[in-house]
């Protein structure tokens, strides 16, 4: 059982970034170099190939994700302390889209960039399908939702969040858009702020739709939105897992 120790390490406020970042960054570097070398040979052939997700193959591919996404309450400390997002129960297409965004640098989070760098189209499809199915049939998280305050209603209306993120912010109108309901409030806040940030090599997300959204709000308004969205019942889960089995 390594989990409690890892959690304590990650919680330490003195760490400059994710506890595992240096070794991951190193691994990502060599992986990136390798993919640079083979890129010319493979991308032309694979770019438009049909990719069929393979749930069996996914099991080995998610082994390295579990150390963060499979531990309830696991915290990252970059760019500020927040819980690692829940991805079990998320849409497969959105998981793939966000991994592509880290790989291309449209999302700048250094750890996730390093993790996404070596993934192939097939890897991402396998991982997306795995996490979409993961946690189905588990008892739902206890709902905390109460009716939104007038202030929250006004913010939700101003951003028209449900027009894209769907009913209860849990049924996006397009599978490449995320489910938000019940996601960790501190993560939602960090994510929303990231869409406001430009020209920073370490922090920021360049998605144009959400940049337009996030820039309409002040930090305290984003915090209010994040807190409300996190209280909603939804499909997202953190499913505890053994690292190896």
Q: At what angle do helices 150-159 and 219-230 cross, to 10 degrees?
A: 100
Nearer to ligand HEC, 101 or 129 (CB): 101
Shortest distance, CB of residue 80 to ligand HEC, whole angstroms?
10
Measured from the CB atom, the residue of 41 and 242 that comes closer to ligand HEC is 242
Determine the residue with CB nearest ligand HEC: 159
> Cβ 59 to ligand HEC, closest distance in Å?
12
Chain-centroid distance, C-alpha 143: 21
- Closest approach of ligand HEC to the CB of residue 196, in Å: 12
Min dist. Cβ of residue 44 to ligand HEC (A): 25
Burial of 182 (0-12, 13-18, 19+ CB in 10 A): buried
Q: Which is nearer to ligand HEC, 104 or 136 (CB)?
A: 104
Closest to ligand HEC by CB, 45 vs 77, is 77
User: In sequence order, what are the residues at sequence separation of 6 or more whose Cβ sits closer than 8 angstroms to the Cβ of residue 51?
Assistant: 121, 122, 125
Would you put residue 140 in left (φ > 0), alpha (ψ -120 to 50) or beta? beta
Minimum distance from CB of 7 to ligand HEC (Å)?
12
Helices (H), the chain: 3-11, 21-46, 55-61, 63-69, 92-104, 110-116, 121-133, 150-159, 161-165, 185-194, 208-214, 219-230
Residues at the contact surface with ligand HEC, assessed by CB under 6 A: 18, 20, 64-65, 67-69, 76, 84-85, 87, 95, 97-99, 101, 107, 109, 111-112, 115, 127, 159-161, 163-165, 177-178, 180, 183, 188, 190-192, 205, 207, 209-210, 213, 225
Burial class (CB in 10 A: 0-12, 13-18, 19+), 212: exposed
* Nearer to ligand HEC (CB atom), residue 14 or residue 40: 14
Instruction: Tell me whether residue 41 or residue 220 sits nearer to ligand HEC (CB atom).
Output: 220
205, β-bridge pairs: 107
Distance in angstroms (rounded) separating the CA atoms of residues 41 and 180? 39
Least distance to ligand HEC, CB of residue 144, Å: 17
């Amino acid at each position: 059982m390594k989990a409690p120790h890892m959690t304590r390490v990650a919680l330490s406020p003195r760490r400059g970034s994710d506890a595992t970042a240096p070794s991951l960054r190193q691994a990502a570097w060599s992986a990136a170099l390798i993919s640079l070398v083979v890129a010319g040979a493979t991308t032309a052939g694979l770019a438009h190939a049909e990719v069929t997700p393979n749930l069996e193959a996914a099991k080995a591919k998610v082994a390295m994700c579990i150390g963060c996404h499979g531990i309830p309450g696991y915290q990252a400390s970059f760019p500020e302390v927040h819980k690692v997002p829940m991805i079990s129960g998320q849409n497969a297409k959105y998981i793939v889209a966000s991994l592509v965004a880290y790989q291309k640098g449209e999302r700048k989070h250094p750890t996730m960039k390093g993790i996404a760098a070596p993934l192939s189209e097939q890897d991402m499809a396998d991982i997306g399908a795995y996490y979409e199915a993961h946690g189905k049939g588990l008892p739902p998280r206890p709902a905390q939702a109460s009716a939104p305050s007038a202030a929250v209603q006004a913010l939700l209306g101003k951003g028209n969040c449900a027009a894209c993120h769907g009913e209860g912010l849990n049924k996006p109108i397009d599978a490449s858009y995320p489910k938000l309901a019940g996601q960790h409030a501190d993560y939602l806040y960090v994510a929303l702020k990231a869409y406001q940030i430009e020209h920073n090599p370490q922090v920021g997300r360049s998605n144009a739709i959400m940049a337009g959204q996030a820039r309409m709000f002040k930090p305290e308004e984003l915090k209010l939105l994040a807190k409300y969205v996190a209280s909603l019942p939804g499909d997202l889960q953190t499913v505890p897992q053994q690292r190896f089995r």
